[in-house]
Amino acid sequence: MNALSKQRCFIGLGANLNNPMGQLRAAISALAGVPGSTLGRVSSLYGSKPMGPQDQPDYVNAVAELYTELPPLQLLDALQQIEQQQGRVRKDERWGPRTLDLDLLLYGNEQLQCERLTVPHYGLAEREFVLYPLQEIAADLQLPDGRSIHGLCQQVPRCGLTVVAQAPC
């Protein structure tokens, strides 16, 4: 299967524990090895304030483009396996500190909602740490509902979001 017949997906990456920049770089390498998939563009690494409790370290975030022949739930399984391999422990605390968080932001132009997965990601349109890295690698992208990434970035302030390292690939 060639890249043209694969789904174009976008993965949000975030970490704020155990060398966050190293965690993201390792995750990007792992994404390149997902079976049936090809890594595309990767954004710069961005520093951001935590969404949840403020008594935790700042985050490092990025977005990666991935072309895959995996169906959405198999891709989700692959992402969660990468998280576990890098020491992610799922806790009840939402938005707490973590070694690695990989979110399936977009899967082609599909809209999907099931118990394990919502695509487009439910917070995509409100989160600066997703929108600005996404705009960096896919400035002309439109969401399945027709909204543009460019337009969303004009509505969502940066809230201190800064580039902390250039694209790792």
Tens-digit pLDDT profile for residues 40-50: 999 999 999 98
pLDDT in tens, 105-127: 999 999 999 999 999 999 999 99
70: phi > 0 → left, psi -120 to 50 → alpha, else beta; which? beta
145 catalytic? Reply is no
pLDDT > 60? residue 135: yes
Look at 1-5, 133-137, 142-146 and tell me which has the smallest mean pLDDT.
1-5
Among 90, 92, 103, 140, the one annotated catalytic: 103
Among 41, 77, 88, 158, the one annotated catalytic: 88
pLDDT in tens, 54-80: 788 999 999 999 999 999 999 999 999
Predicted local confidence at residue 2, as pLDDT = 53
Instruction: Give the chain's domain count.
Output: 1
Q: The domain containing residue 127 runs over which residues?
A: 3-165
Reduce the secondary structure of 45-114 to three states and give it as a string: EEEECCCCCCCCCCEEEEEEEEEECCCHHHHHHHHHHHHHHCCCCCCCCCCCCCCCEEEEEEECCCCEEC
pLDDT > 60? residue 142: yes
Q: Which candidate, 95, 7, 10, 17, places its Cα nearest to that of 54?
A: 95
88 catalytic? Reply is yes
Amino acid residing at 101: D
Q: Specify the DSSP element, H or E, that contains 12.
A: strand 7-15
Among 25, 92, 94, 98, the one annotated catalytic: 98
Please tell me the number of Cα atoms within 13 Å of 137 on its side-chain side. 25
Predicted local confidence at residue 97, as pLDDT = 75
Report pTM: 0.92
What percent of the chain is predicted at pLDDT more than 70?
92
Q: Other C-beta atoms within 10 Å of 130: how many?
A: 28
98 catalytic? Reply is yes
The CATH number of the domain holding residue 72 is 3.30.70.560
Among 90, 101, 116, 127, the one annotated catalytic: 101
pLDDT > 90? residue 5: no
